[in-house]
Amino acid sequence: MKQLLILFLALFALQMNAQKNVEVGRSTTDHLKIINIYNSSDYTVVVINAKTNSTVGLTLHAPEDDSPFILSDFKGNRFALIKQDGWDGPNSGGFGSLDLQANKSKEFKLYFNKIDDLEKIYSMTEVNCEGSGCWDFYDIEVSENDNYYHPEDVEVEFDKVWIDYDVYNDDSEYGMRIHTKFTIRKMEGKLCYMIIRFINAEGEFLSSTSYRYSNDKGELRIEDSLRPGYENAVYSDSENFMPYNEFNFSSGDYYLKMDIDLVYANGDLIKHLKMHDFTFSRP
């Protein structure tokens, strides 16, 4: 396993209001945690949170590398890693080495060939890897708990959306910065996502092949992970950036819509927040 610095990794049980969804029996340290495992229409998705006390370099290996992740069930069947979202490494598909900054949380998703019955998952390991530096997690238990989410109790109030056009992000990409203001109640400590998708004048979702800005269906989207820290969490200015080069348009003015939704970690809709009209102009 080749990487800038090898981490020993561990997974602990995720607890949200004393409800367990994922547990790992054997682990070493607590740098990484599985915070959710769920099935989408095409994949089994493992959501991981990474955090360390000091800046460290580490590598997420691509499916074609020598040591990619695989999922295994209790019968020894293997399910291959297909893609990832949120790692933002320098290699194709966003894989590769990067520096994880001290005390900075990073969440990313791993997409595997689908395991129909999540309760049969046993391990997530790196193939062809030996020694203490391997990222191996065993005795994984995924349980469905009716009390894990309480959608009937969640309250969401959306206030407004506004856009800064013709700006740059920290990576020197040119585009627009989308601001939203909203309040989430009764989801303290629970993972959720704000999803922004884009619709053309014909009412069709825009498509994308970018690993950073597309979902399982190939729709252009921004995904912002949220974990409300309070019973009454106010997001007065939640910022998201969309590079202009993600819009596959020729010169002209285009009348578009943003479809803004709040969803649970498993993809289920919490609430549709806003349909916002805007104009995109390309010289």
Q: What is the CATH number of the domain that holds 259?
A: 2.70.50
57-72 mean pLDDT:
91
Q: Which of 6-15, 54-63, 81-90, 99-108 has the lowest mean pLDDT?
A: 6-15
Exposed, middle or buried, 250 (CB in 10 Å: 0-12/13-18/19+)?
A: exposed
Confirm whether 4 is domain-assigned.
no
Of 90, 138, 129, nearest to 6 by C-alpha is 129
Of 191, 264, 263, 186, nearest to 230 by C-alpha is 186
Do 214 and 276 share a structural domain? Answer: yes
Do 72 and 19 share a structural domain? Answer: yes
Do 26 and 123 share a structural domain? Answer: yes
- Average pLDDT along the chain: 84
Q: Check: CB of residue 156 under 8 Å from CB of residue 32.
A: no
Q: Indicate if the pLDDT at residue 227 is higher than 80.
A: yes
Q: Check: CB of residue 259 under 8 Å from CB of residue 197.
A: yes
Q: Where is the domain boundary, 107, 142, 177?
A: 142
- How far apart are the C-alpha atoms of 165 and 174, rounded to whole Å? 9
Instruction: Provide the phi-psi class of 41: left if phi over 0, else alpha when psi is between -120 and 50, else beta.
Output: alpha
The residue ranking higher by pLDDT, 181 or 55, is 181
Do 229 and 122 share a structural domain? Answer: no
Q: Indicate if the pLDDT at residue 17 is higher than 60.
A: no
Rounded to 5 degrees, what are φ and ψ at 50? -115, 135
For residue 21, what are the domain limits?
15-142
Q: Where is the domain boundary, 113, 142, 171?
A: 142
Q: Check: CB of residue 87 under 8 Å from CB of residue 60.
A: yes
- How far apart are the C-alpha atoms of 44 and 67, rounded to whole Å? 19
- Confidence band of 147 (pLDDT split at 50, 70, 90): very low
Cα separations in angstroms, 145 against 74, 142, 175, 188: 21, 10, 42, 18
SS3 assignment, position 210: coil
Do 162 and 132 share a structural domain? Answer: no
pLDDT at 241: 96
Task: Give the model confidence (pLDDT) of 181-197 as tens digits.
Answer: 999 998 888 888 999 99
**Between vectors from CA 90 to CA 81 and to CA 37, what angle results, nearest 5°?**
30
Q: Indicate if the pLDDT at residue 16 is higher than 90.
A: no
Q: Indicate if the pLDDT at residue 242 is higher than 90.
A: yes
- pTM (two decimals): 0.60
